Amino acid sequence: MKFSSSLLSLFALVSLVIASPNPAGFVVKDSLNAPQDWARRSVAPSDEHVVLHLGLAKRDQAGLEARLLEISDPDHKDYGEWLTADEVDAFTAPSAETRTIVSRWLEEHGLMDSHIEKRSVSENSISVTVPIHKARAMLGDAEFHVYEHRDTGEERITTESYSLPRDVAPHIETIFGLANFARGSAFRSPIRVLTQEEQGDDSTPGVVKASSASGAPASCNFNYVTAHCLRYLYGTEDYKPYGKGQHIGISGFGKEYANFDDLQLYLKNQRKAREGYKFSVTTINGGHNTQSKPGAEANLDTQVVAGLAAPIRSTYYSTGGSPPFKADKGTPTNTNEPYAEQLDYLLGLTHPPAVLSTSYGDDEQTVPYAYAKRVCADFASLTARGVSILFASGDSGVGAASSCQTNDGLNTTTFLPVFPSTCPWVTSVGATMDFAPEVVAEAKESYITSGAGFSNYFARPSYQKTAVQGYLKTLGTENAGLYNTTGRAYPDVAAQGSRYKIYVGGKYYAVSGTSASTPTMASIIALLNDARLKAGKSTLGFLNPWIYSLNGKGFTDVTSGNSYGCSTDGFPATEGWDPATGFGTPKFKTLLSQALKK
Ligand SMILES: *[C@@H]1O[C@H](CO)[C@@H](O)[C@H](O)[C@H]1NC(C)=O
Ligand SMILES: *[C@@H]1O[C@H](CO)[C@@H](O)[C@H](O)[C@H]1NC(C)=O
C-alpha cells in the first residue's frame, strides 16, 4: 500500500479531527466502534476514492408496513394480494422535498446529476464516487481509516462515525458502507472431504447412527444427509411439482461461485430423476460466475435447492461489492456491504424470485443501526412484492465464546444476535441434527450450533408476541441480562443442518450449518408455492404471520437440545416455539393442506 501523505501530516490530520469531531450545523448520522476483530491501521490517503451509496428517505415506509401486515395476515380479506413494483414505489420513492434537498447538497460539493453513477428504480438509492478529502467535507470531517480484519487480512476504508448537515440529515437514512464492519459471512462449517470409505453409495444404507436408528426414514440411516433423506424426512417425496410461474433466488456474496458440473454430479448421485436440471446465474454489481472456482456455500445452496425443488427454476444471484481493498490510486473502494446492491436489483424486477434463500449474516452490533434499519425496511418492500425471504440464523448459537461482549467501549458480557435474522420482515431458519427425534444442531456433533437470539435493534413484532412471551415465561430468569427481552426473537423455523453430502470441484464433502437448513426450507416453501400457483392462488410471500398463526401446526416440534454459546447453555429447546429451532422442522403434507386453505 502506498501513502501519499507524510507521517507528520497524518498526525496533523488526526489532531484536527479530534479538535472538531462534529462541526457546527452537522448531526451524527451513524457511529459504531470498530469491533475487536478489526484493527485500525492508518489514516486513509485523502486522494483515495470512496463510493457514497446514499439511501434516501422514503415517502411513506409506515404506510408500506401497515399494508404489508394486512396482505400477509391469513385472516384479512386481502391476504396474498402482493404489491406490484409501482405500488411499492408509491410508498418508497423519495418525496420531492427529499430530492431537492439532497440534490442541492450534492451540488454544493460540485456533484451534479451527471455524477450520479447509479440510481435504483424507485430512485431512493443513489451512488457517487468522491475523493476522501471531499467526503470529509461533506460528512462533517468524518475520519476515514484503513482497517484490517485480524483473521483474514481483508482491508477496507471506512469511518467509525459520520455526520450530515442538519437540514440534509432527515433526508438521507444511511450511507450504506460507512461505519459498517459487516462482512456478510457465509454460515457453514469448514467443509471436510469424505474419505473413500465414508463416501459410500448413496443408494445403500451406511452406518446407522445410534441416536437416529429408530423411527428415521430408511433413507436417512446414513452418516450423511442426502436429497433422498430430506425428501422422506420432510414428506415431499410424493409431490409432483408443476414447476411454472415462479423461480427460487439463491444469494451469493464475496467469492462464492456456484458450479454447474458439481450440480450434475450431485443430481447423478442423489436425485437421478432430475439429472440435467440447471440453475441460471445473474451477476449484480460486478459479481462473477467463475466456474473454475466452485465455492462450498454456493454449491451447497444450489445443490440442495435442485435436489428438493427441481423442476422449479432457480437463479444464483452473484453479487459483487466486497473485493479485497487495494489502495491503488483512482480505484474506488467499494461500499463493502452485501445487501443494498442486491436489494436495489431485486426490487427493480417485474418478476422477482418467489423465494429468496440467503445463508449469510453478521453480528448485529457490527452493522450500524441506521444501515440495519434501512436494509430491513428494504426487505419489507421486497416481501411485500410476494417474495418469501429466508435467512440463516447463524452457526454460533447465542455467540462465539471469545466474542460475547458489547462493542460500545464498555465490554459488557452479552449474547450476540445476528443480522439480518433479527429483521422482523425476514424468516429466520435454525438448524437441527439427528432424525428420531431431530434435536438442536450443536457443535460437538455438527461443528456448528444453531443460531438463536433477540435483537437489540428491532422490537418484537406483533405476530410473534404470544409465542415468545410463552417461551420467556418458561425460561424464567435463565440468561437474564444477556439478551434483550423486548427484541425480535429468532429463528422462526428450522431444518436439518448437519453433515450434508455435497460436491465441490468433483469431490465429496460433508458440510453443516444453517447454510444447509435455509435452502432446504426455501425449497419446501417453493413447493408450497407451486401447489398454490397451480390452484390459481398467489405465492406465500411474507411468511411469518402465516407461520405464527399455525402455532406449530405443520411443524415437528424440536424439544431437545440447546443453542449453546458465550460459554453458557444458551436457550434450551422446549415444547412449542423456542429461540433454538422456532416452531421446528416442516411437515410438508400438513403445510400443503394449510397453504391451500387461504
Ligand atoms: C475492552 O476490550 C478490548 C479488547 O479486549 C480492550 O482493548 C479494552 O481495553 C477493553 N475496554 C474496557 C473498558 O475494559
Ligand atoms: C432492546 O431492544 C429495544 C427494541 O426492542 C431497543 O429499543 C433497546 O435499545 C434494546 N436494548 C439494548 C440494551 O440494546
**Closest ligand to Cα 484:** 2
Q: What is the pLDDT of residue 554?
A: 98
Amino acid at 394: G
- Give the residue numbers annotated as catalytic, written as ranges: 297, 301, 515
Domain 221-592 sits in CATH at 3.40.50.200
**Ligand 1: which of 37, 405, 411 to mutate, most ligand atoms within 8 Å of CB?**
411
Q: Is 412 in the pocket of ligand 1 (CB under 6 A)?
A: no
Q: Is 363 helix (H, G, I), strand (E, B) or coil?
A: strand
pLDDT at 189: 81
Pocket flag, ligand 1, residue 411 (CB < 6 Å) = yes
Residue 284: its pLDDT value, please? 93
Check pocket membership of 413 for ligand 1, CB cut-off 6 A.
no
Give the residue whose CA is nearest to atom 14 of ligand 2.
456
Contacts of 8 (CB under 8 A, 6+ apart): none
User: Which amino acid would we find at residue 596?
Assistant: L
- How far apart are alpha carbons 121 and 124 in whole angstroms? 8
- Cβ-contact 180, 371 below 8 angstroms: yes
> How far away, in angstroms, is 425 Cα from ligand 1 center?
34
Give the position, in ligand 2's atom list, of the atom nearest the Cα of 459.
Answer: 5
Q: Report the pocket of ligand 2 as residue ranges, CB < 6 Å.
A: 456, 459, 484, 486-487
> Over the Cα atoms of the chain, what is R_g?
24
Any ligand 1 atom below 6 A from CB of 36: yes
Query: Which helix (H) or strand (E) covers residue 389, if one does?
Result: strand 388-392
Distance 411 CA to ligand 1 centre (A): 6
**Nearest 5 degrees, angle CA 383-CA 576-CA 300?**
50
CA atoms lying within 13 Å on the CB side of residue 221: 13
Number of CB atoms found within 10 A of residue 409's CB: 7
Residue among 367, 408, 457 whose CB has most ligand 2 atoms within 8 A, to mutate:
457
Query: Could you write out the three-class secondary structure of 254-266?
Result: CCCECCHHHHHHH
Q: How far apart are CA 393 and CA 145, in angstroms?
A: 31
558 marked among binding-site residues: yes
Q: Which of these ranges, 223-227, 339-343, 542-546, has the smallest mean pLDDT?
A: 223-227
* Bridge partners (DSSP) listed for residue 26: 165
Q: What is the mean pLDDT of the chain?
A: 90
51-55: average pLDDT: 94
Residues 103-108: what's their mean pLDDT? Answer: 98
For 187-222, the three-class secondary structure string (H helix, E strand, C coil) is: CCCCCEECCHHHHCCCCCCCCCCHHHCCCCCHHHCC
User: Which part of the chain is CATH 3.40.50.200?
Assistant: 221-592
The reported pLDDT for the residue numbered 153 is 84
DSSP E strands, 166-310: 172-175, 185-186, 192-193, 247-253, 280-284
Strand partners, 164: 27
Contacts of 219 (CB under 8 A, 6+ apart): 226, 228, 229, 231, 232
pLDDT in tens, 156-212: 889 999 999 999 999 999 999 899 888 888 888 888 887 777 776 665 444 444 444
Q: Quote the ligand 1 centre to 152 CA distance (angstroms).
A: 21
- Give the closest residue (by CA) to ligand 2 atom 1: 456
**HEC readout, 94-128:** CCHHHHHHHHHHHHHCCCCHHHCCEECCCCCEEEE
d(CA 220, CA 566): 32
- Taking CA atoms only, the protein residue closest to ligand 1 atom 9 is 409
| Cα→Cα distances 259→175, 280, 293, 502, Å | 34, 11, 8, 12
Among 330, 328, 333, 391, residue whose Cα is nearest residue 364: 391
Q: Write the single-letter amino acid at 586.
A: P
* CA 545 to each of CA 105, 246, 307, 462: distance values in angstroms, whole numbers, following the listed order: 41, 22, 28, 9
pLDDT at residue number 202: 61
Give me the pLDDT at residue 430, please.
Answer: 98
418 marked as part of a ligand binding site: no
Average pLDDT over residues 57-65: 98
User: Which atom belonging to ligand 2 lies closest to the Cα atom of 484?
Assistant: 1
Q: Is the predicted pLDDT of residue 455 greater than 70, yes or no?
A: yes
Which of 486, 488, 490 best tests ligand 2's pocket when mutated (most atoms within 8 Å of CB)?
Answer: 486
290-330 confidence digits (pLDDT tens): 999 999 999 999 999 999 999 999 999 999 865 434 444 44
Please check if 63 is assigned to a binding site.
no
Residue 206's pLDDT is 42
Give a three-class secondary structure readout of 300-315: HHHHHHHHHHCCCEEE
Cis peptide bond prior to 420, omega within 30° of 0 = yes
| Contact (Cβ atoms closer than 8 angstroms) between residue 284 and residue 345 | yes
Per the annotation, does 60 bind a ligand?
no
269 pLDDT higher than 70: yes
The pLDDT, as a whole number, for residue 286 is 87
Cα 144 from chain centre = 27
Cα 311 to ligand 1 centroid, rounded to whole Å: 53
Ligand 2 centroid vs 271 CA: distance in angstroms?
46
Query: Whose CA is closest to atom 4 on ligand 2?
Result: 459
Q: Express as a percent the part of the chain with pLDDT over 70.
A: 90
pLDDT higher than threshold 70 for residue 1: no
Tell me: the pLDDT tens digits for 374-389? 999 999 999 999 999 9
Q: Is 93 helix (H, G, I), strand (E, B) or coil?
A: coil
Please indicate whether residue 567, judged by its CB atom, sits closer than 6 Å to ligand 1: no
Residue 385 parent element (H or E):
none
Task: Tell how far the Cα of 419 is from the centroid of ligand 2, in angstroms.
Answer: 14
* Residue minimizing CA distance to atom 10 of ligand 1: 411
For residues 548 and 463, the answer to whether their CB atoms sit within 8 Å is yes
DSSP letter at 33 equals P
For a mutational test of ligand 2's pocket, the pick from 456, 462, 483, i.e. the residue with the most ligand atoms closer than 8 A to its C-beta, is 456
Please report which ligand is nearest the Cα atom of 459.
Answer: 2
241 Cα: distance to centroid of ligand 1 (angstroms): 55
The pLDDT tens digits of the residues spanning 509-547 come to: 999 999 999 999 999 999 999 999 999 999 999 999 999
Counting ligands in written order, the one closest to the CA of 460 is 2
Judged by its nearest atom, the ligand closest to the C-alpha of residue 456 is 2
Band of pLDDT at residue 19, cut at 50, 70 and 90: very low
Give yes or no for a contact between 284 and 216, defined as CB atoms under 8 angstroms apart. no
DSSP calls for 137-151 = HHTTSPPPEEEEETT
Q: Is the pLDDT of residue 418 over 60?
A: yes
Residue whose CA lies nearest to ligand 2 atom number 12: 456
Check whether 248 has a pLDDT greater than 60.
yes
Q: Is the dihedral of CA 375, 555, 536, 75 positive or negative?
A: negative
Segment (H or E) for 203: none
Query: What would the mean pLDDT of 569-576 be, rounded to a whole number?
Result: 98
**CA 419, CA 363: separation in Å to the nearest integer?**
6
Ligand nearest to the CA of 409: 1
The alpha carbon of 409 and the centre of ligand 1 are apart by a number of angstroms equal to 7
User: Does the beta carbon of 402 sit less than 6 angstroms from any atom of ligand 1?
Assistant: no
Q: Write down the pLDDT at residue 23.
A: 78
CA of 541 to the centre of ligand 2 (A): 28
How confident is the model at residue 402, as a pLDDT?
81
495-530 burial, b if ≥16 CB within 10 A, otherwise e?
A: bbbbbbbbbbeeebbbbbbbbbbbbbbbbbbbbbbb
Which protein residue's CA is at the shortest distance from atom 11 of ligand 2? 456
Q: Could you tell me the three cell numbers for 139?
A: 460528512
